[in-house]
Amino acid sequence: MWMAHSRSPYSARRIALACFALLLVALFLLPNQIQGLLQYLDGPVGHVVGVPLQAIASIDAGIANRWERYVALQGVQEENQQLRKEIEWLRGQHSQLREFSAATERLTALLQFKEQALPTMVAAQVIGRDATNRYRAIILNKGESDGIKPDMGVVTPAGVVGRVVKTTGASSVVLLVTDPSNSIPGLIQRTRDEGIVEGTQQGMARLKYIPLLSTLRDGDRVVTSGLVGGFPRGLVIGTITNIDKQEGALFQSAELMPEVDVGRVEEVLVIQMSYGQSTKVGAEADVTGKPSP
Amino acid sequence: MKFLFYLILVLLLVPLQTTLLPHLSVWSIKPDLGLVAAALVGIFAGELEGLLVGLAIGWVLNLFSAGELWLSLLTNGGVGILAGFLGRQLTLVTSISLGVGLLLVSLASGLFAAVSFTHLDLSQMWWMVESIALPQACFDGAVGAGLYWLLSQWFHVTRLRTE
């Protein structure tokens, strides 16, 4: 508890008020110019702030690693058995897919399709979450100096994570697929119907603008359509869990369970160049998740 | 000396807010330490320093958020200057009055942010206020009151203010 008393000179108050009023006017009249001015400083400031951020993030990761390895081992035996069963099942799937792959190669050669180059990717680590509660975003430890730019797609071997929205010299902010402000063009893998995938407030995703005549059903997989944005065609976004078809509506929509658990993701791949842009020589990683050294 | 203190404060706020606080979040809501810090600086050091430190915090934290820059600058700078004014007008500042003040300012900033999301309809906007802005305002108020109480216990607050 403390008695307030005046200590700043009257002029300081006036300066503060004048500065704030000036800032308000500048922000409303010249928003782009102010942002452009600050962008010159974003790179160096990002590098300086990145030092304590990366240091604390690595300590945090170390503690989490110790916890997972030595303390949180309850239920590992059951999980192990479950995973063994899953491996058996996946082995069967794998051999089937190899057959399909060989058939596809033969058919592609037969049709003389132009060979598509693999996308170039950069591996990055998640070092934090959005500074506010209003966006679902993650912070990566790679930025402009590693060639990352806004609008690049971010994935894991399992599927789509989100899209880069902001970069500094040494870090970048990725808006997750589950954020309502995010939109990614999607395609239902079985029916080939296109739509737009947006996040929901409940932390899921929703495929919107699906044609009314589409024969989609629960369990259908939604992949990137590759039409616009930083994603090549065919990366898994999620699985349809609920279809919403309303009377008199022009389109139907469907709720998706995202393929990647974005709340727990730790390492990601940033797609620097999509199919068609990259050359095979420049390809540093493939879509199966092998990052460049 | 003061400049160094503010520099360290701004540099440490980023890892604290983005890396450590997500572990301590309750129902996925974490307090906005930038807002709390700007308010405390405003109370202890006056409007001008509150404004400048608030703006610096708003800008640096915005580098690590998907949010709009203008909202972050306006909120944190505004809280700094407002806290400076309120600190001067109130004859008695307690941790409770500071907590209530922070709750109200944080709620106002949350409402402003919800309105600025142009793609949301009314029900989504209400959901955002109810599920994000209101719990965060309570969190901010509690953290601000707690920090103020700690500071007033550990240091001689009157001396800190007059220096």
On whether any CB of chain A is under 8 Å from the CB of B111, the answer is no
* pLDDT, average across residues A89-103: 80
* Residue A218 included in any domain: yes
- Nearest chain B Cα distance for residue A223, angstroms: 24
On whether any CB of chain B is under 8 Å from the CB of A264, the answer is no
pLDDT band, very low/low/confident/very high, at A292 (cuts 50, 70, 90)? very low
Of B66, B89, B92, nearest to A130 by CB-CB distance is B66
**pLDDT surpasses 70 at B11:** yes
* Contact criterion met (CB below 8 Å) for B131 and A134: no
**pLDDT surpasses 60 at A34:** yes
- Percentage of chain A beyond pLDDT 70 is 83
More confident residue, B26 or A71: B26
Confidence (pLDDT) at A133: 82
- B145, amino acid identity: A
pLDDT band, very low/low/confident/very high, at A164 (cuts 50, 70, 90)? very high
Selected residue of A134, A154, A178 to mutate for chain B interface (largest B Cβ count, 10 A): A134
Q: How far is Cα of residue A13 from the mean position of the Cα atoms in its chain?
A: 44
* pLDDT, average across residues B77-105: 81
Tell me if A2 and B92 make a contact (CB, 8 A cut-off).
Answer: yes
- Annotate B19-71 with DSSP letters as a single string: IIGGGG-BTTB---HHHHHHHHHHHHH-HHHHHHHHHHHHHHHHTTSSS-HHH
Per-range mean pLDDT, top range of B16-25, B135-144, B152-161: B135-144
On whether any CB of chain A is under 8 Å from the CB of B116, the answer is no
Tell me if A7 and B157 make a contact (CB, 8 A cut-off).
Answer: no
* Residue A283 included in any domain: no
Tell me if B15 and A173 make a contact (CB, 8 A cut-off).
Answer: no
Q: How many domains does chain A have?
A: 2
Write a three-state SS string for chain A. Answer: CEECCCCCCHHHHHHHHHHHHHHHHHHHHCHHHHHHHHHHHHHHHHHHHHHHHHHHHHHHHHHHHHHHHHHCCCCHHHHHHHHHHHHHHHHHHHHHHHHHHHHHHHHHHHHCCCCCCCCEEEEEEEEEECCCCCCCEEEECCCHHHCCCCCEEEEECCEEEEEEEEECCCCEEEEECCCCCCEEEEEECCCCCEEEEEECCCCCEEEEEEECCCCCCCCCEEEECCCCCECCCCCEEEEEEEEECCCCCCEEEEEEEECCCCCCCCEEEEEEECCCCCCCCCCCCECCCECCC
* Residue A240 included in any domain: yes
More confident residue, A198 or A30: A198
**Three-state SS at B118:** coil
Where is average pLDDT lowest: A116-120, A225-229, A238-242, B90-94? A116-120
Selected residue of A15, A24, A53, A132 to mutate for chain B interface (largest B Cβ count, 10 A): A132
Give the strand pairing for A221-224 and A172-176.
unpaired
Of A16, A19, A166, nearest to B84 by CB-CB distance is A16
Could you say which residues from 169 to 188 on chain A have a Cβ atom under 8 Å away from some Cβ of chain B?
Answer: 171, 173, 175, 179-181
Rounded Cα distance between A283 and A22, Å, is: 49
* Contact criterion met (CB below 8 Å) for A12 and B47: yes
* Residue A136 included in any domain: no
**Three-state SS at B105:** helix
Rounded Cα distance between A269 and A153, Å, is: 8
Take residue A80 and report the two structure tokens written for it. 């192990």
Domain of residue A96: give its range: 74-114
Rounded Cα distance between A216 and A91, Å, is: 29
**pLDDT surpasses 60 at B119:** yes
* Residue A129 included in any domain: no
pLDDT band, very low/low/confident/very high, at B43 (cuts 50, 70, 90)? confident
Cβ contacts of A128 on chain B, cutoff 8 Å: 15, 18-19, 22, 64
Cβ contacts of B94 on chain A, cutoff 8 Å: 1
Of A35, A49, A135, nearest to B11 by CB-CB distance is A49
On whether any CB of chain A is under 8 Å from the CB of B93, the answer is yes
ipTM of the complex: 0.79
Could you say which residues from 32 to 61 on chain B have a Cβ atom under 8 Å away from some Cβ of chain A?
Answer: 32, 34, 46-48, 50-52, 55, 59-61
Tell me if B61 and A201 make a contact (CB, 8 A cut-off).
Answer: no
* Contact criterion met (CB below 8 Å) for A209 and A251: yes
* Residue A235 included in any domain: yes
pLDDT digits (tens, 9 = 90+) for A187-228: 888 888 888 998 888 888 899 898 888 888 888 889 888 877
Rounded Cα distance between B116 and B109, Å, is: 10
Of A17, A27, A46, nearest to B74 by CB-CB distance is A27
pLDDT band, very low/low/confident/very high, at A111 (cuts 50, 70, 90)? low
Give the strand pairing for A183-188 and A153-156.
unpaired
Where is average pLDDT lowest: A56-60, A111-115, A183-187, A232-236? A111-115
CATH number of the structural domain spanning residue A223: 2.40.10.350
Mean pLDDT of chain A: 78
Rounded Cα distance between A221 and A112, Å, is: 28
Domain end point (choices A89, A114, A139): A114
Cβ contacts of B63 on chain A, cutoff 8 Å: 42, 45-46, 49, 166, 168, 171
Phi and psi torsions of A206, nearest 5°: -140, 130
List, in order, residues 6 or more apart from A127 with CB less than 8 Å away.
A53, A54, A57, A139, A140, A141, A171, B18, B19
**What Rg do the C-alpha atoms of chain A give, in angstroms?**
24
Where is average pLDDT lowest: A83-97, A105-119, A194-208, B41-55? A105-119
pLDDT band, very low/low/confident/very high, at B125 (cuts 50, 70, 90)? confident
**pLDDT surpasses 60 at A6:** no
On whether any CB of chain A is under 8 Å from the CB of B118, the answer is no
- Nearest chain A Cα distance for residue B1, angstroms: 18
* Residue A206 included in any domain: yes
Determine the residue of chain B that is closest to A163 in CA distance.
Answer: B66
B129, exposed or middle or buried, with CB in 10 Å at 0-12, 13-18, 19+? middle
Neighbours of A132 (CB within 10 A): 27
Rounded Cα distance between A170 and A142, Å, is: 5
Element (H, E) at B92: strand B92-93
* Residue A104 included in any domain: yes
